[in-house]
Amino acid sequence: MSAIFPKSRILLKGRRISNKFNVFKEKYKDCQQCPLHKTRNRIVLCRGTLPCDILFIGEGPGGNEDSLGFPFMGRAGEFLQGILNSVFHPHPDLKKNINTTYAITNIVCCRPPENRNPEIEEIEACRQRLIDFIQLAKPKWIIQVGKVAKENFPPNLPKLGGTLHIRHPSWAMRQRAGDRAAYIRTTQNSLRKIISTIEGSK
């Protein structure tokens, strides 16, 4: 697996969050609330640091994620991770210490067959798990990655600093070099603004 991904897939900051995360994992580890459980290899709950300042929510696991058990680990994940590394871990020469943390999850936790979009019934079945995860992760900001995440964002969430929608990295990967570079730049700029607001409030 590419070295671009952080070594620790899940980093739990403190005993309290560890306990809560174990309860959460236990609750969903054998989830069979929708038909996607029949074809999955693994439930893909999350990766990143918990609690987190920024939570990225994608659509659903693909083949790599289904085998590894963590979200955004395939080619699109690698592309996104490159952007995350550039804004959360700037080059050491910049002498910037970023304390803002992030985690990643999806609208559904089990891989839709043939990588199709999740059906509305599957999204609804997985919504309580998403709400539970948001309550556990306590993000200040949520980034909706792609159209499915934007259109199926749960209403009535606890107070957030804000939300941002970005196009899915797999869309960006299909664009010509110039448009792909523009996507990277725009996403980096938006994330840097959010990170700077969060850093200012710490």
Which spans of this chain sit near ligand SF4 (rule: CB under 6 A)?
Answer: 28, 31-34, 36-37, 43, 108-110, 122, 125-126, 129
CB-wise, 41 or 197, nearer to ligand SF4?
Answer: 41
Q: Measured from the CB of residue 40, what is the shortest distance to ligand SF4 in angstroms?
A: 6
Contact status, residue 53 vs residue 141, Cβ threshold 8 Å: yes
Residue in the structure block whose two tokens are 């955004």: 72
Backbone dihedral region for residue 47 (phi beyond 0: left; psi -120 to 50: alpha; all else: beta): beta
CB-wise, 28 or 171, nearer to ligand SF4?
Answer: 28
Q: What angle do CA 185, 148, 151 make, to 5 degrees?
A: 100
CB-wise, 129 or 140, nearer to ligand SF4?
Answer: 129
Q: Sign (positive/negative) of CA torsion 111, 115, 121, 123?
A: positive
Q: Measured from the CB of residue 85, what is the shortest distance to ligand SF4 in angstroms?
A: 28
CB-wise, 14 or 63, nearer to ligand SF4?
Answer: 63
* Torsion angle of the four alpha carbons 52, 82, 162, 126, in this order, in degrees rounded to the nearest 10: -70
Contact status, residue 20 vs residue 92, Cβ threshold 8 Å: no
CB-wise, 53 or 122, nearer to ligand SF4?
Answer: 122
Q: Measured from the CB of residue 36, what is the shortest distance to ligand SF4 in angstroms?
A: 4
